Amino acid sequence: MLLCRCAAPWVLAMGLIGTGLPAVQAAAPAAPTLYSQLGGEAAIAKVIDTFLTVVGGDPRIAPSFAGANLPRLRTLLVEQVCEATGGPCKYTGRDMKSSHAGMGITEAQFNALAEALYTAMDREGVPYALQNRLMALLAPMHRDIVTR
């Protein structure tokens, strides 16, 4: 196919100016999702693995996870973060209110979990701006999780 590098396209475009025809604009590329900026599902899974390790070593919150099905919890956390950040995953767990009902989670425990997630993201090299965007997405869960 021969491409014309002459002035004709420019002249045609200039001829449309002032004709009342709407200007043609190139579609702006879609902004990358937080999911893609974090590195996708594999990177999210690494953060969750590190998060669970940090939680397991924190005496303020580790006892709350005694007896938990950790492989299932890992799967649900990856799904949840993946979906919340605009990824293709579908969260298959229960809503936060019913899944935490009766656990008596305190403000201090919730904050310790947030610290653990920040620590995990730091260890996995997630930039601070992305950390804050993720935490802003997760913060509204506070009202359904903290009951004491």
Distance CA 114, CA 137 (A): 12
For the chain, the domain total comes to 1
Distance CA 84, CA 42 (A): 15
* Domain annotation covers residue 8: no
For residue 116, what are the contacts with CB-CB under 8 A and spacing of at least 6?
A: 51, 54, 55, 58, 61
* Domain annotation covers residue 118: yes
How many percent of the chain have pLDDT more than 70? 82
Which pLDDT band holds residue 148 (cuts at 50, 70, 90)?
confident
CB 85, CB 34: distance < 8 Å: yes
CATH number, position 108: 1.10.490.10
Which pLDDT band holds residue 126 (cuts at 50, 70, 90)?
very high
Q: Mean per-residue pLDDT for 101-105?
A: 91
Give the chain's mean pLDDT: 87
* Domain annotation covers residue 7: no
Which pLDDT band holds residue 9 (cuts at 50, 70, 90)?
very low
Give the model confidence (pLDDT) of 22-46 as tens digits. 555 666 778 899 999 999 999 999 9
pLDDT of 11 strictly over 50: no
* Domain annotation covers residue 5: no
Range of the domain at 64: 40-145
For residue 105, what are the contacts with CB-CB under 8 A and spacing of at least 6?
A: 64, 145, 146, 147, 148
Our CA dihedral for 68, 116, 52, 148, rounded to 10 degrees, sits at 10
pLDDT of 2 strictly over 50: no
CA-to-CA dists, residue 99 to 71, 96, 110, 120, 146, angstroms: 16, 5, 14, 23, 12
pLDDT of 132 strictly over 90: yes
* Domain annotation covers residue 18: no
* Domain annotation covers residue 107: yes
Binding site annotation covers 142?
Answer: no
**Joined tokens for residue 60:** 């303020």
* Domain annotation covers residue 140: yes
Which pLDDT band holds residue 81 (cuts at 50, 70, 90)?
very high
* Domain annotation covers residue 3: no
